[in-house]
Each structure stands twice: as structure tokens, then as C-alpha cells.
Amino acid sequence: MMKFRFRRQGADPQREKLKQELFAFNKTVEHGFPNQPSALAFDPELRIMAIGTRSGAVKIYGAPGVEFTGLHRDAATVTQMHFLPGQGRLLTLLDDSSLHLWEIIHHNGCAHLEEALSFQLPGRPGFDGASAPPSLTRVTVVLLVAAGDMAALGTEGGSVFFLDVTTLTLLEGQTLGPDEVLRSLPDDYRCGKALGPVESLQGHLRDPTKILIGYSRGLLVIWNQAARCVDHVFLGNQQLESLCWGRDGSTVTSSHSDGSYAVWSADVGSSPALQPTVATTPYGPFPCKAINKILWRNCESGGHFIIFSGGMPRASYGDRHCVSVLRAEVLVTLDFTSRIIDFFTVHSTRPEDEFDDPQALAVLLEEELVVLDLQTPGWPAVPAPYLAPLHSSAITCSAHVANVPAKLWARIVSAGEQQSPQPASSASSWPITGGRNLAQEPSQRGLLLTGHEDGTVRFWDASGVALRPLYKLSTAGLFQTDCEHADSLAQAAEDDWPPFRKVGCFDPYSDDPRLGVQKVSLCKYTAQMVVAGTAGQVLVLELSDVPSEHAVSVASVDLLQDREGFTWKGHERLSPRAGLLPWAAGFQPRVLVQCLPPAAVTAVTLHTEWGLVAFGTSHGFGLFDYQRKSPVLARCTLHPNDSLAMEGPLSRVKSLKKSLRQSFRRIRKSRVSGKKRAANANSKLQEANAQLAEQACPHDVEMTPVQRRIEPRSADDSLSGVVRCLYFADTFLRDELCLAAAHHGPTMWAGTNSGSVFAYALEVPVAAAAGSEKRPEGAVEAVLGKEVQLMHRAPVVAIAVLDGRGRPLPEPYEASRDLAQAPDMQGGHAVLIASEEQFKVFTLPKVSAKTKFKLTAHEGCRVRKVALATFASVACEDYAETCLACLTNLGDVHVFSVPGLRPQVHYSCIRKEDISGIASCVFTRHGQGFYLISPSEFERFSLSARNITEPLCSLDISWPRNATRASYRLRESPKLSQANGTPSIILAPQSCDGSPDPAHSKGTDTSEPLEAVLSPMSVDSATSADTTLDTTGDVTVEDVKDFLSSSEESEKNLRNLAEDEARACAILIK
Amino acid sequence: MNRSFHKSQTLRCYNCSAVEVKSKFGAEFRRFSLDRHKPGRFEDFYKLVVHTHRISNSDVTIGYADVHGDLLPINNDDNFCKAVSSANPLLRVFIQKREEADHYSFGAGTLSRKKKVLVALRDEGLRRRAHLAISMPHDFRPVSSVIDVDILPETHRRVRLYRHGCEKPLGFYIRDGISVRVTPHGLEKVPGIFISRMVPGGLAESTGLLAVNDEVLEVNGIEVAGKTLDQVTDMMIANSHNLIVTVKPANQRNNVVRGSRAPSSAGQSSDGAGPPAAHVLQNFHPDEVESDEDADIVIEGAAAPPAPTRGAPPGGLTRANGTGLVPRPPRDAPLNSSGREGGGLHRMLSALQPDPRHSLVLPRGGVEEHGPALTL
């Protein structure tokens, strides 16, 4: 409303309609590994897996592309999850002791996860609700009995409650109190002590009336629910951690807090049993840590698997995260890099089968999911088709390449396969295969590149819902780092007992932070790429299908250009290895350009047709001819007063040695170790403290108000010389007024933090014959053509040249290979310069302003990321518009027309507090985008109404419907609570398929017979779980600069004088 | 002396159309007369004055004493006419050499020092600071103005700060705060943005139009309600070259009183409760502002093939939008004509049309900061 009147555009209804056809905001899918997982469940019938998180999200995974997401209304930790086998329903227990029933429902043929019911255990019956300590009714364990119709809840107080699952109502009168159990115990065992909380509940596979109950004190009881009597009692005396009931019901395995496990025989008639048949401490004799969970699986081929977590010798290996797999004489100690959350085996669950025959072991860790094939000797790990730990080393940058040619795709895939050989047998493939992916094959291949702190670049298949790892490029091999020798020595020196085996790829400890990848650029036509890092290294690489051994030529470019008076106080440059080096098939380095001083590279761009790479740091930018391996240009952009940039970052970048690494691990360990419940109590305490602090906060604000200085930028602000963007274009830069038609030619553009833009005209030798790959030999020359100083001095975020039709110029080779329309070189070109505060289009070659939009002046937000994207219409097959997509520091996404720069739509996308999310955002060429919602997860969003990548899948579920279903369908969908500011389509409450059909009984029912047309528009997107984010990711100085305020207290005392003066002047004006 | 002088006025004849002029230069007086109804043009008057005082070779400024005894300048036809027509009946003219001109004199009531006590009493203790620095009118450059007085509620003030080309810092700080508003439901506390501090000597302070604890309502026509402190900060900085802030002054006693409304009713009672004024910036021409600010500097590069040493930044200087910078004298241009485009640059510079709007406001900062570019 407060826009200037003359700016108001009449809402053109036609344009509005077109906008609706072009733009729509959806958060579609989360890629990567869920942040802070806390619970795991597996449905052996549907072969789907569920992961719950500490923020209350529930994610269900099946075959690649089959994904469901739900979010509990309360952001409480999901502590346990249990599938109702084959029904597509899931019972979750949160740490506030509430139970929630989720179900997978099909709408229009596509399945969604929705919360159906919730339940909170009331105060203990028979007691006054107020007097009973609430902790006594805290649910510790849940067991689904009788094929999922009934659930048993074990509590802190030792009681077991029974619950009707379909309605989530308590079955009164069936509750089993500890007193009832105590009655059947011998007096000397009782000796006046309580049994402790219910630690474990296990059901019998074949006899659903029997329940194995384990109490914390060590007592095991087989309870016959039908007869309501104790069948069997095992008088254990060691504190119990977990239980496992053998398939035939004759053996019970218990694990204990002292690191021992015991096997009890249930066949022996003598009840109570006093002694286990076997009791061992596998990693004894020295004190061991608790075995938190144990599984006993028998095999047809004889013998059995015992799989347990923990139990390591406390003193020597107490800090390891281990799962031990024992079969007969073979013991393997799987050594993981992060805490173990839970694990399960994929095995036969049909009651009629004689044996479990486990096929695979899936271990959920804090930071990754590892699946081992138990049928192949050696138990190799199975590569996961999704749930990849993106953060196996912290992500430092990302880039998206759209429309990857099939040839390059195949070469990258084959390079990746040579890196990690795929399992030969198809039997040992990914065991979690439930559901059907209904999404169409992606029309084009999208590649997501992530640069990591350890100097690797990972290539991900981002074409579909499942983000699949393709290939990993490591640049560390080119450099000498001081850590690697120590590492290999340490490995060899380790004892062979316990038989550790390193599993998993999560390794957050960077050997040398200078290896960190800052910028990546890939040319998809020539398979050449440039990777630039923290220590000013710029690597030009080329994809090769065969391994080779060659030396990498090194050149250094001094960006200071004899600027006097500055000394670099930052890190040293990385020293490259000399001589011939072996390189595996894949991207192999050709040239290393070292920027001096070795500050982090802040911008990079590659032009393969001209054989040029441009790079910039906080000191200046350079241009390098990698074909002739000679520098072309170096220019210092430092302001004379800017000393901060020179001195480099504070010396936090010392390389971390192995010892440091170990101590970090120990610190981490000590933080997360200890009993679960203690941790819970701690977290409660912290929560309360946090709330107190929050309440106290407003007072503090009133005491010392935050103030902001209103002062325009001056030229000598620090870091003004940082090169923010670089760009190559074939366009008109030189204005030769005498000629009627100015001629175009190669140009290079650079934009800095202080709003300066430098444009160079390049003299590149032209290939005589069109179509030849290599340009002829000859020196490249660069001539400064234009220098633009934006008056508002805001950092230049992006530069792009638009052709005569107002479209961005194609990438190198794109036009010449007929993959894109050739640019219009007749009409006048224009350059779009996006600064943090405004967008401007200037004419070329005479740089005069044509259109602009002052975003900051209007909205009070700053530009963080921009990209030119093509938006295709949903209504018309071949109508598309090129627009400017922009992410602001408030987390909003705006779309502007190009070159008119008229605002089209805007959506709120990321929370503005989520600095790392905003910093990590990357847009694709077709109106999608990615940003990190946690260190390990990318959220994918779509701005385009047509180009949406979201999970569309179905699941063959079968469960008895009954009348209760209609009543709870009316409840609010939990997705409503996800305030992401988007007009997401909410499906109206409806009863899916009419009246309950008595003929629908379990087993006969297959998938829902809905044959609706799949239209992406009508599908409610599976939106994000609003998880609490750890914002310790890649935060640059610019990101936090806004949060720092300067205060000049010295000026305060003159305030009175100022007021007097103000009054006098006001009279004068009057 | 003044007193006796005023007494003599009564002796003058009333119906005479001639205005007696008493002109003083240094210690010398000259007397002549002008036609009250046809005073003629300022230029002629100037010539007459310098001729009468025989100081034709020096540059002088002319001022006169108005009815209140204030010394006001005569430097154009309008104020000359005003001076003559308001002469009652004697027009007292004071001449100073320009270089010696007393910058503190105009408007500050140098002639009425004896009346000052009375004035001070009437103005309820609002002391005027003597010796305000007011330079010569043609050196004037707008620094600040109160605009849109006619459309804003009387409790609000819209202040325009022209920072362009000014070396002074804008010089104020803003903070979050709580504003009390009258709504149909009674008093309501809403978050607001307030000026928290003024930097002494800054532009904001020197205008006297903004003060600590003034509530900021709009920035360049955009309401700040619902925006965070950081957003408002960014908006102000983005508009800092030509900042228009609408404030509700903490001190409501200096409000402009319009029409027949009593000042009391316009005071605190209608504080922010009244219907918001049409949110239009009237005295604000977007084109003007935009071209002000759009004046990004474009430096044309030289076309010479780059020598191995690329230190010397080549190029001439011109303004992107053809505004502002007066073309440099030709003697500067050849310095850069090291190659093909040397002549082209010259042509371009001379083709530039200096925009009169900007003749006053040379972006000094912008040009100077490009040190290397100026070494043409």
C-alpha cells in the first residue's frame, strides 16, 4: 500500500493468470540424511523403514523415490517407532510419553503420511492423578501384540498397560501391575525391592498371547495375556538393558549394563529359572560398557547371529561406537564414527518359517545409515541409494548443473562405479524396497555438486527424489598435508583385538582446512571443471575415462600487483606434490593456479571454448589461459585503506593433528554418553533454562536497546576489495562510434564487494575452422574496457549479459552444439548487474542505466543469492519466460521479470535466522532450488509451476478398515502446522472410499483402487519438517556482518546540546 | 541611534512613490531613490549601487534591513522587489565586499541586537543561536527540507535529507521501541522504530528536524510498521543519498499549525490516532531522485594492448547517465589517448550534456574516491 503511487501497476488480469501458470512455490523433498535421528523402525512386510528425529519428524523410506514425511505437532523427540506390519501404519512414542498413530493414506493414487490419532497415558489408575508422580506412568517401551491390534506399554513404574491400537484407547482391567508379578516370585528374590521400570517387552512370533517382560532390576517374566498368569520367571540379577526372544520361543537373550549378555532357556520346566544357560562378557575381563541392544537370529545353515551394540571395554575403547556381529567363531566389531541410535535385521518374519535367516543388518547412526549384507561372506556394506550423509565432511559450497548431456552423465557414472565397485550379486542389493515410485522418469539429468571441507567435490544425481551419490572427486592428493602419514601409521598400529572394522563414511574431521573447496564450476560439454579452495588454489580438471600418471603444472598469480604496505598474515599456501602422480579414472587435474596471497577464492568462472579460467579472492582477480598455461591478467581490487583483507583471517586455520582429533572425539563422546534417561533429564533442565532466559530477554532489551547506525557505506569499509562474481560473455563492450555496427567479442566481468564492476575486452585467437575443439595457439590479451562504480556501493552479487531478445547468453558451446538457441547478436545487448541492494540493467556497449529495481529501498531486505532461471508454463507447452530469482537475507524468494525487472511473485522460503540455510541456497536453471536445512539435509524447493520434483509414490497396504476411520479423518492434518508461508494446497477432509465394507478383511485387500489422473498440481507436497537447525555451517563474514552493531559511546554526552540546537533550528524553519 | 532614526521616519511624506535609499559601504553612505512601483531589475540596481559607491571593480554583496531589522540579502529580482516594496519608507542598503562578507549577518538580526531581549521573551525562552553560518545563496545546496506539510497529519513531519555530495555523516542511530497508539479498542502498544541517538555535527543533527526519540513512521514513502530494525536500517542506508523519513516528533510543540485548528487540538490528543494521511510523497520527483542516485560512474578503459605491467589504470572518466560531471577541459583528454579509443573518449566527453540539475551537486565523494581513475 505504501508504494509510490506512480509505481503502482494496475493488476493486469491476464498477467496475473500467466503468473499463476508460471510460478508456484513448493517445498518438495528433503535430500540427504535426517538431522538428529532418534528412532528407527522397519516393516518387514511392506519393506519400508521409518526414521524419527529429535525435532518430531517422521520419515518413511522404501524403494528409491518412495518417501513420506510427517511432523508431530509438538517438536518432541521421537523415542520409539513401531510399524503395524503390512498396514502402512506407524505407532510413535515421543519423549513426552505421548503415543501417535500415523497412517499412509492414498489420495489420487499417491500416498501420504498423516497423523490419525494420539494418546497420552492417564495418571495411574487406582491412584489420585495428582498424587502419583508423573514419572511412574512414563512409557518406557512399547510392544505391538496380536498382529497389531493391541499394544503393550511398559512404564517407569513397572506396570504394563494394554491399549487398543485402532482407537488408541486404554483397555481397562488388563493392566499388569508389578505387584501381580511380585506375587509369583520367591521371597528371597523379592526382598522388599521394586522391580524397577519395564526395560523391555518382547512378543512371541507364533503365540501372540505370550509376552516377555524384562524389568530393569533384571527380572524376566513370560506373561500369558490370555490366561493372565505368569508362565515363566527368570531371576536375573544384573541390571537389564534389552531382551531378544528367539524365534521358537525357547531361548531368551538378555543384555546387561555391565557389558555381558546371557542366554536363558525357556524350555526347562523349572520355573523360576535361577541361572542362565550361558552368560558371557564378550569384551571382558576388564569393566565394559553396557550392551544397549542385542539381537539373536538363527540361520538355516546352522548357527546363529548375535548382534549387539556397545559392550566395549570401558577404559581402552569406551569412546568407540561399535556394533558387534558374532556368528559362531566369527566376530566383527563394526567401528562407526558417530553414535548408534538403533539397528535392525532384515529377516524372515513369517511365523511358519523355521529360521530367521537374516539378510541384512541396518544400523542407524547419528550421522548416517549403514546397511551390511549378512548373506555375503565378509558382510560387505551395501551402498545406499538415498539417505546419503551429505555432511560426511562439512559442505562448503554447492552448485547445480542442469540438462547434463547423456554422454557426460554416463562417463561420470562409470567413473563413480570404478571408485566404489558395486556389489556383484543382485541378491545383496538394497533391502528396503517397499512401495512404488510413480514419478515419471526425469526429463533431464540434473547434477548437484557439493564442495567439502576436506577438499572433495561430490557429484549427486539430483534428477529425482532420491539424491544418489555418483562420484567423489578428491583434490587432496595433489597437495602435501602433514596429517596423512600419521593417519596410516595409526591404523596399522592398532591391535587386532577387538577386531575393529571401520564402517561408514561420516568423517567430520578435516585434516587441513586449507583444502576446503570454496567454488566449483563445471562445463558440461567438455567435461572440464574448475575447483577453487581456501588457500587460493585454483585447479582445472578434465574428465578422463582411464587412469593415468602425469605431473600437474603449477603457476602462481600475484594478485597484489606490487601493492605496498600490506603483509599477509593468514595461512600458508598448500605445497603441491612434485613429479608424476597417479590419477584414477575420473576428473584429473591439469593445471594448478595458485593465487598469492593464498586467500580463499571467492569467485571463479570457466570458459572452455576460450580456454580461460577467471578467479578472484579478497585481494583481486586474475585471468589464466589454461590451454597455454600462462597468466593473462591480474588486477588488485584492494582499497588502499583496507588493511583487514590483507592480514587474512585470524589464525584459526592451524591444521588439526591426529591427537587433537582424538580429543575432540572424546569430548563429543562424553557429551553424548551415559544413560538415555539422564540425558533426557538434562535436556529438560536445559529447556527450562532456555525458557527462563527467553522470558528474561525482553527486559534486557529494554535496558540496553539495540541500535543501528544509519550511515551509507564508504569506500574504505573493510573487505571492499573482495571479488564477488566473475563472468564471461561474448558481447559488445567497446563502443566504436565511428563504425556503424559495433562488433562483439569475448569479455570478462568482475564485481567486487564495494560495488565496482570491471569489464575487460579479451583478444582470444579464433579458430579458423568452425567446430574445432581447440582454439589455435596464440596469446590471449585482456584490455580494460569499462569500470563501473555503483553509487550505492553495495556488493555486486551477480553479473549477466542479456542478448537482443532479453535472454541470458548461452553457456560456452551450448549454442555451437545446437543445444540452445543462438543468442541474438543483432539487437542491443544489456548487462544485468545485481548488487545486494538493487538490480540494474545497463545498455551495452554504452553503459547507461535502462531499468532497475531497488529491492532494499523498498523491502528492507538484501540480496543473498540470484540466478536467472527459465520458467515454463503449465498451461502452454512451449511458453517459457526467463526471470531473475533472488533469495534475500530475510529468507524470502523474489522473482523478477527480465529485463524489465518488475517484481512478479515472492514467497517466504527460509527462516531469516537460518543463516547457514540462506548461505547454502543454490538455484537451478529451471526454477528449483536447494538449501541446507541441517548440516546433512538439502531441502528442495520449486518456484516453477511446471518443474516440480516431489515424491509421488504408492504403497500396497492392507489393513482392516472400520468405522472409526471416518471420525478421525476429520482431524487437522499436521502439515497445516508447518508455517512455511506458502499457499500449499490442503486436501479437504474426505472419506476416501465410502462406507466400510465388511468384505474388506485383512489379506484380501490390496491397494486402493483409485485410478485418478496424476496431476502434480493437485498433490499436496510432502513439505519439510521444520527441524531445529544447527547453524554452524558455512557462515561468511558478510552474513554475520549485519548482526554486529557498532556503538560509539563517546557521542552520548552531547545529546542535550543537540536537542537545544534542534529546537532553535526548528523555529528558524518555521 | 536606531531609535532616533526611527523617529525621523514620521517626517517623511506618505504618498510619495519614490523610495529613499540609504546605501552604506564601509563607513560611507550614499543616498538615492527608487520608484516604489517600478523598482526595475536587480542587475540594474546592482550596477547603480556599485557605480554610486565607485566600487565597480570589486564583487560585492548587497543586503537590506527589513521591517524587523533583520539583514536580508538582495541578489535577485524577487528579493529586490520585496525590499523596495516593503521599505517603510526608507530602504537601508548595506554593501559588503564578497570576500569580506559577513556570513553570520544575514537573517540573524544583527541590526536588532537591542531588541533581542524582547524577542527572546516572546519566544518563550527559545534561544536563537547567533552567528549561524549561512553562506551566499548561490553556494546554497539543499541539505534538508520539511515536505508534504499540507497532506500529513500535523503530528507528523516528513523530512528530506540530502546527503548527496556532502562530506558530513548522516549521523543518527535508530532503535526498537514501543509506541502507544489510540485505536478503536483503546490504547494499544505496538512496536515501533525510534531515533536513538544523533551524532554531533552530523547532517541529521544539523538540520534540527530530527531528534532523539522521534518515532520513524516511513522511509521514502514506505511504512516501516511490521519491519524489523535491520530492515529499516537497510532501507535507510539504501536511500541514504536522498533520505525521506516521516517521523512523529517526540517534541510535539514545534508542529506546524494549519488552518483554523487550534494548536492544542493538533497536539498530543490526536497523536497517531487520526486517519493516516494519503501516503503519497508529493514534493518528491522520482526521476529527480533516481537520476541523482543512478549516477554510477563509468570509467572507459583505454584500448591499448595491455603492457606487461598492468598497474597503471587507463581510462577517462564520464558519468553513466550523461549527468553531473562537467566535461573536463580538452587538455586533460589527450593524456589517455594512447590507442584506438583516445579520440572516441574525447568525442564522448564533449557529447555529454551536463544536466543543470546536477550543477550544484557534484558527487565529490564519488569522483575523488576513484583516485587512480583521475590520474588521466
- Give, for B217, the enclosing helix (H) or strand (E): strand B215-219
Find cell 537389564 and name the residue.
A240
CA atoms A62, A68, A73, A76: torsion sign: positive
**Contact status, residue A148 vs residue A88, Cβ threshold 8 Å:** no
- How far apart CA B247 and CA B234 sit, in angstroms, is 17
- How far apart CA A723 and CA A461 sit, in angstroms, is 31
pLDDT of the residue at A721:
86
- How far apart CA A922 and CA A915 sit, in angstroms, is 14
Ramachandran region, residue A683 (left: φ > 0; alpha: ψ -120 to 50; beta: rest): alpha
Chain A contact present for B205, CB below 8 A = yes
Judged on CB neighbours under 10 Å (0-12, 13-18, 19+), A440 is: exposed
Point out the residue among A5, A842, A1054 whose CB comes nearest to the CB of B200.
A1054
- How far apart CA A976 and CA A1023 sit, in angstroms, is 10
- How far apart CA A859 and CA A72 sit, in angstroms, is 34
- How far apart CA A434 and CA A48 sit, in angstroms, is 5
And the C-alpha cell for A476? Answer: 587432496
- List, in order, residues 6 or more apart from B68 with CB less than 8 Å away: B109, B112
Judged on CB neighbours under 10 Å (0-12, 13-18, 19+), A599 is: buried
**Contact status, residue A356 vs residue A307, Cβ threshold 8 Å:** no
Question: How near does any CA of chain A get to the CA of B51, in Å?
Answer: 35
Closest residue of A to B208, CA-based? A1062
Band (B88; pLDDT cuts 50, 70, 90): confident
- How far apart CA A106 and CA A101 sit, in angstroms, is 16
pLDDT of the residue at B356:
37
Residue predicted with more confidence, A980 or B286: B286
pLDDT of the residue at A150:
87
pLDDT of the residue at A382:
87
Chain A contact present for B235, CB below 8 A = yes
- How far apart CA A1068 and CA A382 sit, in angstroms, is 83
**How many A/B residue pairs have CB atoms within 8 Å?**
238
**Contact status, residue A111 vs residue A105, Cβ threshold 8 Å:** yes
C-beta atoms of A848 and B322 within 8 A: yes
Indicate the pairing of strand A937-944 with strand A23-32: antiparallel
C-beta atoms of A635 and B228 within 8 A: no
Judged on CB neighbours under 10 Å (0-12, 13-18, 19+), A1052 is: exposed
Chain A contact present for B279, CB below 8 A = yes
- List, in order, residues 6 or more apart from A156 with CB less than 8 Å away: A135, A136, A137, A138, A140, A197, A198
Question: How near does any CA of chain A get to the CA of B254, in Å?
Answer: 7
Given a cut of 50, is residue B188 above it in pLDDT?
yes
And the C-alpha cell for A839? Answer: 538490480
**Contact status, residue A594 vs residue A573, Cβ threshold 8 Å:** yes
- Write out pLDDT tens, residues A468-518: 899 999 999 899 876 554 444 445 445 577 888 888 888 877 778 899 999
**Contact status, residue B203 vs residue B211, Cβ threshold 8 Å:** no
Chain A contact present for B293, CB below 8 A = yes
Q: Identify the CA nearest to B297 among candidates B327, B321, B320, B322.
A: B320
**Contact status, residue A1024 vs residue A980, Cβ threshold 8 Å:** yes
- Give, for A309, the enclosing helix (H) or strand (E): strand A304-310
- Phi/psi of residue A561, each to 5°? 55, 55
pLDDT of the residue at A643:
53
Exposure string for A258-297, b = 16+ CB within 10 A, e = fewer: bbbbbbbbbeeeeebbeebeeeebbbeeeebbbbbbbbbb
Amino acid identity of A343? Answer: F
Given a cut of 90, is residue B98 above it in pLDDT?
no
- Write out pLDDT tens, residues B108-167: 444 444 444 444 344 444 444 445 555 555 556 677 888 888 888 888 899 988 876 667
**Contact status, residue A931 vs residue A922, Cβ threshold 8 Å:** yes
And the C-alpha cell for B128? Answer: 536563537
- How far apart CA B177 and CA B215 sit, in angstroms, is 9
- List, in order, residues 6 or more apart from A1028 with CB less than 8 Å away: A36, A54, A55, A75
Q: What angle do CA A169, A172, A176 make, to 5 degrees?
A: 110
C-beta atoms of B296 and A790 within 8 A: yes
C-beta atoms of B222 and A1059 within 8 A: no
- Write out pLDDT tens, residues A1036-1064: 444 444 444 333 443 443 444 444 444 43
Question: How near does any CA of chain B get to the CA of A981, in Å?
Answer: 16
Q: What angle do CA B318, B321, B324 make, to 5 degrees?
A: 65
> What average pLDDT does this structure show over B7-25?
66
Alpha helix segments (H runs only) across chain B: 2-9, 42-53, 77-86, 116-122, 203-207, 229-238, 286-294, 342-351, 364-369, 371-374
pLDDT of the residue at B308:
38
- How far apart CA B68 and CA B107 sit, in angstroms, is 10
Chain A contact present for B337, CB below 8 A = no
**Contact status, residue B315 vs residue B302, Cβ threshold 8 Å:** yes
Chain A contact present for B123, CB below 8 A = yes
Prior bond to A845 cis, omega within 30? yes
Residue predicted with more confidence, A78 or B341: A78
Given a cut of 50, is residue B60 above it in pLDDT?
yes
Question: How near does any CA of chain A get to the CA of B46, in Å?
Answer: 28
**Contact status, residue A40 vs residue A342, Cβ threshold 8 Å:** yes
- How far apart CA A255 and CA A279 sit, in angstroms, is 9
- How far apart CA A312 and CA A321 sit, in angstroms, is 9
**Contact status, residue A199 vs residue A240, Cβ threshold 8 Å:** yes
Cβ neighbours of B353 in A, within 8 Å: none
Of chain A residues 671-710, which have a CB less than 8 A from chain B? 701, 705-710
Interface test with A, best of B147, B173, B287, B349 (most A CBs within 10 A): B173
CA atoms A73, A79, A84, A86: torsion sign: positive
Q: Identify the CA nearest to A520 among candidates A510, A509, A529, A507.
A: A529
Residue predicted with more confidence, B313 or B91: B91
Question: How near does any CA of chain B get to the CA of A1026, in Å?
Answer: 23
Number of other CB atoms surrounding residue A660 within 10 Å: 12
Sheet harboring A291-298: ordered strands across? A291-298, A304-310, A321-327, A330-336, A500-502
Indicate the pairing of strand A321-327 with strand A304-310: antiparallel
| Long-range contacts (CB closer than 8 Å, 24 or more residues apart) made by A80-84 | A80/A39, A80/A41, A80/A141, A80/A142, A81/A39, A81/A40, A81/A41, A81/A50, A81/A52, A82/A41, A82/A142, A82/A143, A82/A144, A82/A151, A83/A41, A83/A42, A83/A43, A83/A46, A83/A48, A83/A50, A84/A144, A84/A148, A84/A165, A84/A959
pLDDT of the residue at A353:
81
- How far apart CA A782 and CA A803 sit, in angstroms, is 22
> Does the model's ipTM exceed the 0.85 cut?
no
Pick out chain A residues at pLDDT < 50.
1-8, 124-131, 426-427, 485-490, 492-493, 649-659, 669-681, 696-703, 738-740, 961-1070
pLDDT of the residue at A742:
62
pLDDT of the residue at B195:
92
Alpha helix segments (H runs only) across A159-212: 178-183, 187-190
Band (B17; pLDDT cuts 50, 70, 90): confident
Amino acid identity of A79? Answer: T
- List, in order, residues 6 or more apart from B130 with CB less than 8 Å away: B104, B108
> What average pLDDT does this structure show over B345-355?
40
C-beta atoms of B175 and A707 within 8 A: yes
pLDDT of the residue at A726:
96
Point out the residue among A788, A890, A1051 whose CB comes nearest to the CB of B296.
A788
Closest residue of B to A1053, CA-based? B200
Point out the residue among A738, A791, A858 whose CB comes nearest to the CB of B296.
A791
Hey, is A746 helix, strand or coil? strand
C-beta atoms of B230 and A713 within 8 A: no
Cβ neighbours of A641 in B, within 8 Å: none
- Write out pLDDT tens, residues B322-332: 333 333 333 43
Point out the residue among A709, A791, A1058 whose CB comes nearest to the CB of B366.
A791
Point out the residue among B129, B233, B344 whose CB comes nearest to the CB of A1064.
B129
C-beta atoms of B200 and A1051 within 8 A: yes
- Write out pLDDT tens, residues A245-290: 888 888 899 999 999 999 988 876 666 777 888 899 998 889 999 9
pLDDT of the residue at A451:
94
Cβ neighbours of B211 in A, within 8 Å: 1058-1059, 1062
Radius of gyration of chain B measured on its C-alpha atoms: 27
